[in-house]
Amino acid sequence: MTDTGLLKGLIRCLDLTNLNDDCDSAALAELCKKAQTPHGNVAAVCIWPRFVNEAKKLLAGTGIKVVTVVNFPQGGEATLAVEEETRQALSDGADEIDLVMAYQALAEGRAGFAETQIVRIKRICGEKVLKVILETGALKTPELIRAASELALAAGADFLKTSTGKVAVNATLEAAEILLSVIADSGATKGFKPAGGMKSAADAVAYFEVAQRVRGDKVPDPDTFRLGASSVLNALIAAIEGREETRGTGY
């Protein structure tokens, strides 16, 4: 049986997510309510940019951060539009930005474009946390995943995030190990966020165990470790309370 202290720590590291196409104000309100659990609040809610202002009001006084996504999910190359999207999100009150890297440009050998886009978005974010989504399932090879990780850190990423949750292959333990190894090798205090595909408490624990083994994490710390998921929260609560766990569906 997994230690309940660890499970509660993982709840505090969760970016509770609704990036469904049909998300509306009612779904947002439910998400923000769900983010406040008897076993502690999640780190953040991760939502579409259009809901940032509304989420800030719903979460006022809770300490829960508001995260939004830009250049999502395609990781396109319209940098000026992404810059404007980022400025608007920050103006609306976003605490953190999750940027999809222009991973297709990187895969095509145009690493400079992908790097420059991250640099420009980080400049806008300033002291705000910038997580860079590498879309590791689309990059496929360990070599390209490592190259993307190194590039993102060099360009100013505060966190490396595996996936959008919108492609066929999202977070994997193999990709997680590569991202964490690059962070460890850099010597910098940077964060790691697996996202997409986590359904059970065991899934969440497995990612933290990789962080423990590769990077030496001692306890789950939301400043350096996040879990991007919509359905794993119920599983973590069930495990803490000793109830039968039902595997979730969704992001």
DSSP SS3 for 154: helix
Tell me if 130 sits within 8 A of 156, measured CB to CB.
Answer: yes
Rounded CA gap, 99 and 202, in Å?
27
Our answer to whether residue 131 is catalytic in this structure is no
Our answer to whether residue 161 is catalytic in this structure is yes
> Which residue(s) pair with 229 in the sheet?
16
Our answer to whether residue 98 is catalytic in this structure is yes
Catalytic residue among 131, 193, 199, 203: 193
In 3D space, the residue among 206, 182, 202 whose CA is nearest the CA of residue 192 turns out to be 182
Catalytic residue among 98, 122, 131, 203: 98
Rounded CA gap, 99 and 101, in Å?
6
**Is residue 222 within a helix (H) or strand (E), and if so which, with residue range?**
none
User: How many C-beta neighbours within 10 Å does residue 178 have?
Assistant: 23
In 3D space, the residue among 34, 133, 53 whose CA is nearest the CA of residue 95 turns out to be 53
> Which residue(s) pair with 87 in the sheet?
none
Please enumerate in sequence order all residues whose Cβ is within 8 A of that of 93, keeping only pairs 6 or more positions apart, or say none: 52, 53, 55, 56, 66
Distances (CA, A) of 165 to 6, 96, 100, 241: 25, 18, 11, 28
Chain centre distance of CA 189: 16
Catalytic residue among 122, 131, 161, 190: 161
Q: Which residues are catalytic?
A: 98, 161, 193
